[in-house]
């Protein structure tokens, strides 16, 4: 099997389903997923939690950000340093100005925001399977970041997406880092231990 071609096919399939939800459907599903994610995260008081700024029609993290702040979490957002580097995370307080950055103009905190090493990461994705493997958007940022963080200390990664983005099986390459848990608008579940 040509893994790259199969990932491309599955990515297009899942993203097509996501787009077909429509704006109102995505908004309602994002609120439902936030409720599941808050329960799955457990006690977050004083813990560093990394979210992501949604891109195009990704699941909206704003409802979850509000709930996490209310629960006392310290929030962070990813910052792209360079194409082949892991992400770094900067603190994201409610009044932190976000600057659209990079080719895709994804909002991120500026260099004045302190760097944070998260204990819990909400990971964006295009497609996922029940084993916790995900297909991102092709640049490998989260695979590199998770590999680095996991080599340094325990960290929990939660895939955060709409249920319609699930596929039967994601083809796996050696560099692919699975998530520890998946949260959708329908349910949350822990995945098996990594091999």
Alpha-carbon gap, residue 100 to 181, rounded angstroms: 29
Q: How many whole angstroms separate alpha carbon 112 and alpha carbon 96?
A: 10
Q: How far apart, in Å, are the Cα atoms of 159 and each of 73, 105, 179, 189? A: 18, 22, 6, 10
Q: Give, for all 195 residues of the chain, the pLDDT tens digit.
A: 699 999 999 999 999 999 999 999 999 999 999 999 999 999 999 999 999 999 889 999 999 999 999 999 999 999 999 888 999 999 999 999 998 987 778 899 999 999 999 999 999 999 999 999 999 988 899 999 999 999 999 999 999 999 999 999 999 999 999 999 999 999 999 997 654
Q: How far apart are CA 190 and CA 59, in angstroms?
A: 19
- The domains located in the chain, with CATH, are 3-176 (3.40.50.10420)
Write out the binding residues for ATP: 7-11, 134-142
CA distance 73 to 35: 15
Give just the sign of the alpha carbon dihedral 149, 135, 133, 18. positive
- Quick one: 150 exposed, middle or buried, by C-beta within 10 A (0-12, 13-18, 19+)? middle
From the annotation, which residues make up the binding site for substrate? 58
Output the known binding site.
7-11, 58, 134-142
For the record, the structure tokens of 127 come out as: 């497609």
Count CB neighbours of 46 within 10 A: 9
CA distances from 147 to 64, 112, 133, 155 (A): 25, 26, 14, 10
DSSP 142-161: HHHHHHHHHHHS--EEEEE-
pLDDT of residue 104: 77
């Amino acid at each position: 099997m040509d893994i790259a071609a199969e990932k491309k096919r599955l990515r297009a399939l899942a993203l097509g389903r996501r787009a077909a939800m429509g704006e109102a459907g995505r908004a309602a599903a994002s609120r439902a997923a936030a409720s599941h994610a808050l329960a799955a995260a457990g006690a977050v008081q004083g813990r560093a939690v990394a979210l992501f700024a949604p891109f195009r029609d990704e699941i909206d993290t704003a409802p979850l950000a509000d709930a996490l702040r209310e629960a006392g979490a310290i929030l962070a957002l990813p910052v792209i340093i360079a194409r082949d580097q892991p992400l770094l995370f900067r603190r994201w307080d409610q009044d932190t100005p976000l600057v659209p950055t990079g080719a895709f103009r994804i909002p991120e905190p500026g260099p004045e925001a302190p760097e944070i090493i998260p204990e819990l990461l909400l990971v964006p994705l295009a497609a996922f399977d029940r084993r916790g493997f995900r297909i991102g958007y092709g640049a490998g940022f989260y695979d590199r970041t998770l590999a680095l963080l996991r080599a340094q200390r325990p960290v929990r990664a939660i895939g955060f997406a709409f249920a319609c983005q699930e596929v039967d099986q994601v083809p796996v390459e050696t560099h692919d880092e699975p998530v520890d848990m998946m949260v959708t608008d329908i349910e949350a579940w822990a995945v098996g231990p990594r091999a």
